[in-house]
Structure 1
Amino acid sequence: MAHLLDSAKAGFLTTYGEPAEGVWSAPGRANLIGEHTDYNGGFALPLAIDRRTWVAVRCNGTDRFRVASAMYTGVVEALLSEVGGDQIPKWATYVLGMAAVLDAGYPSSEPRGVDIFVVSDVPLGAGLSSSAALECSVGVALNDLWNLGLSRTDLALAGQRAENTVVGAPTGVMDQSASLKGKADSAILLDCRSNETEVVPLGLRADHLVLLIVDTREEHSHADNEYAERRASCEKAAALLGVAQLRDVDEELLKAGRHLLDDETYRRVRHVVSEDARVLETVRVLRDSGPLNIGSLLTQSHISLRDDFEVTTQRLNLVVDVALAHGAIGARMTGGGFGGSAIALVPENCVDEVINAIGLAFVAAGYGEPGFFRAVASDGARKESD
């Protein structure tokens, strides 16, 4: 990762003509289990991955913000009052949106303008929270430079607010929580109602397992209508069942209220209720008997997302089916769905076979070549260098 740190520093110097005050980074995330539960107040079990977004930052003494990236040409310059307009590229909106939320929540009479240069190896549009990695790297940088003294939970909620109110994506707080609170060789049990987190050791290496991420390279966007429709359906169901959030629904209440819901809405609720139960069961199994025994829970999650929540795609389903047929002990889509990535829990001695089989299946189906990498659970956002 040293080359990314150097790239961030060099890019900043080339773009702005002076060195940055510091470099901060934040990881993307893979969700082990617990999909579409976060905005329903439920449980999720994400992990921070060893792919990160790096931001070199310097206060510029004005009210203007300048943002540049190794992945895009030009410099975006704006006042925070201009954030959200059509003239700002979407990628820069994540940066400036985070700054705008923090500035509005914790105002100051001093100029807060900063210059930022971004580099990243978190795949874009792959369901691995490249947006949260960007928000959180900026968040920890501004927390330090503006002396805000905010907790990781405060920053996660600010990132969620930026996505919801500035970007227009109706996401929950899982992605930001994982990016900020991740721990090496561990997943993070997140209670999405209280925002409390608990570190859950994974122990994959000890059991000779690899968490393989397969990027279908089928891009998606959380701001698209399909994602918003799923959330609206869940909120409608909660109101019909007389609860604040679907977190409050168990199997008994769902059965009793079945007559209140049309078939599609019922299936949406059934996914959320069963997924919350699977998250807690996965944590129990990890603690009691280790990761070799969680595979069926991961696969059940995918089936529920495919049949009840209907957010998978043919490519995601193909990855899961082929991985299971060639030695994976469990597999599922990860992220919001409608494209992006899948994860497969694979014995070390089967990894090459799984990769080759998926690659051949994609060729046979006429899809583009997928991407593969082994996910290593890593630490969350941090300052990297002065």
Structure 2
Amino acid sequence: METNLNVGIETPKDKLELRTTIKEFKDFYGYEPYVISSSPGRLDFLNTHQDYKGLPVVGIAVNLRVYIALRRIEGSEAIIASGNLMDQGVDYVDRFDVSKVMLRRDGWFGDYFRATYMYLREMGYTLGGVKAWVRSWVPIASGLGSSGALITAFLGGLNEVFDLGLSTSDIAEAAYRVEHYVMGIPCGRLDQYTSAYGGVVLINTKPPYDVRRLRFKEGVFAVLDSCIKHSTMDVHSIKQRELREALSKLITIANDELRKKLSTDLSRVSWEELTEEELMPYLSNLPMELRNRVLFTLRMHESTKLALKVIEGVKPKRSELSRVLKPIKCRVSLRSSDWFLKVIGCVMTYQHILLRDLYEVSTPELDRLVRVSIRYGAYGAKLSGAGMGGVVIALFKDIEEANNLVNHCLRRRYACRGYVVSVDEGLRTWPP
């Protein structure tokens, strides 16, 4: 059986990655896969650390993708092998009985696939055994949504192999629930929804979890990997605990009107109705660390609303730029041809400052990458993902400028890896 490589292939890079995945599956199992499923990594573009609070976030799917080749087999055994782990010389094959699957824990790579089976069976779907081969070009634990892309791609493959009838929305929500509820990772919906839908998307993280595609066609992004690995679970757990503690203290001292807007369930707080002015008399009674977590949430969201207006083509007033982006001087001529990119860049840099100072999830290495990016002509730069390591993303006018930054950071060893990325499609599958 020959897999058709001419369906939906747009670039030589896509075709090479697809051929590699198919060849490795065939070399390992001895025959062709039935389907290949692929999902993109993502840039955590706007409103970082807000999706688990029920606030809207903006993600960008990029052309760093994970590929999974699958074939349905008789019986109830699933065999999953990872080409990336094979390259590292570590255990790279997981086997389990899909009729009585359990998680192994302790960071075992196979748990992503086990958890997916567990969730689908719990939802009433009938699944049999598969053989699968994974090859990923999304750096792991770098703030590019590698685990969300992996689960999304696996769901997409199972959907084809077992004819489950899942829509893009179904797959996005299932991927979130697999990671959040089955695996117990305190993530929001940014990664899974961006990976499933692709493009530049505004994700409403409250029901009905709708997605709106944004027109963002100008500029290019450089991605600089610090190669400082982080645990999303650790970072998110700490910050969510701190914010819940802050809200708990506010509830005990707030007046009745304000108390109605608060909750220790982060997604049930009326964040969009709260203002700094009404909170400030009470925030002054909190330790600085807890006060900053609340201020971060409000200011991050306010700057995201500004960016969304700009993306929709609305020119902001200078007074609005000064009010929203208080700590930085956003020098923008609103008559210039690149005013749009300049304002978006200012918002990016401002959000990095908030992540550094009010949420404390940056590191000196990430801060240096942001400074160097701006020195090399970036409109703006910020960390992407949970923080405490991972990548910095920088917005440029053209590919040449972005490449210059990447090459400089690699030469100076400020980054261990660097990419100039383009916006990419979401979940894709290739049948035989």
Q: What TM-score results when the alignment is normalised by the length of structure 2?
A: 0.80
Shift, 1:253, TM fit: 4.3
Contact 2:410–2:418, Cα closer than 8 Å, also in 1 = no
Q: Which residue of the partner structure matches residue 56 of structure 1?
A: 69
Q: Which residue of the partner structure matches residue 304 of structure 2?
A: 279
SS in 1 for 2:59: strand
More strand by share: 1
Which of residues 72, 80, 93 is equivalent to 1:75?
A: 93
Q: Which residue of the partner structure matches residue 323 of structure 2?
A: none
348-357 vs 331-340, which moves further: 348-357
1:215-226 alignment to 2 at 5 Å? 215-224=225-234, 226=235
Contact 2:222–2:403, Cα closer than 8 Å, also in 1 = no
Contact 1:35–1:334, Cα closer than 8 Å, also in 2 = yes
SS in 1 for 2:41: strand
SS in 1 for 2:233: coil
In structure 2, runs of 5+ residues without a counterpart are: 1-13, 87-91, 252-261, 316-339
Specify whether residues 188 and 14 from structure 1 end up closer, same or farther in structure 2 by C-alpha distance, changes over 3 A only. same
Which of residues 35, 38, 43 is equivalent to 1:22?
A: 35
Shift, 1:259, TM fit: 4.7
316-325 vs 280-289, which moves further: 280-289
Q: Looking at CA atoms only, which structure, 1 or 2, has the larger radius of gyration?
A: 2
Which of residues 156, 159, 174 is equivalent to 2:190?
A: 174
Q: Which residue of the partner structure matches residue 235 of structure 1?
A: 244
RMSD: 2.1
Deviations 1:151-209 (A, max 9, x none): 323222222222223433211111000000112xxx101111121111111121xxxx2
Shift, 1:229, TM fit: 0.9
Deviations 1:50-99 (A, max 9, x none): 11111111111222211001112342101243431248x62221122122
Shift, 1:104, TM fit: 1.4
Shift, 1:292, TM fit: 3.7
Contact 2:223–2:421, Cα closer than 8 Å, also in 1 = yes
Which of residues 259, 270, 283 is equivalent to 1:248?
A: 270
Q: Which residue of the partner structure matches residue 94 of structure 1?
A: 112
Contact 1:322–1:357, Cα closer than 8 Å, also in 2 = no
Percent pairwise identity: 26
SS in 1 for 2:193: helix
In 2: Cα distance, 1:236 partner to 1:155 partner: 33
Q: Which residue of the partner structure matches residue 134 of structure 1?
A: 150
Q: What TM-score results when the alignment is normalised by the length of structure 1?
A: 0.89
Contact 2:347–2:380, Cα closer than 8 Å, also in 1 = yes
Q: Structure 1 residue 199 and structure 2 residue 213: aligned? A: yes
Deviations 1:11-67 (A, max 9, x none): 222222232111110000012111100001001110110111111111112222110
Shift, 1:353, TM fit: 4.1
Contact 2:64–2:137, Cα closer than 8 Å, also in 1 = yes
Specify whether residues 78 and 351 from structure 1 end up closer, same or farther in structure 2 by C-alpha distance, changes over 3 A only. same
1:311-330 alignment to 2 at 5 Å? 311-330=361-380
Shift, 1:235, TM fit: 3.0
Specify whether residues 352 and 114 from structure 1 end up closer, same or farther in structure 2 by C-alpha distance, changes over 3 A only. closer
Tell me which amino acid in the other structure corresponds to 1:105.
M
Contact 1:286–1:293, Cα closer than 8 Å, also in 2 = no
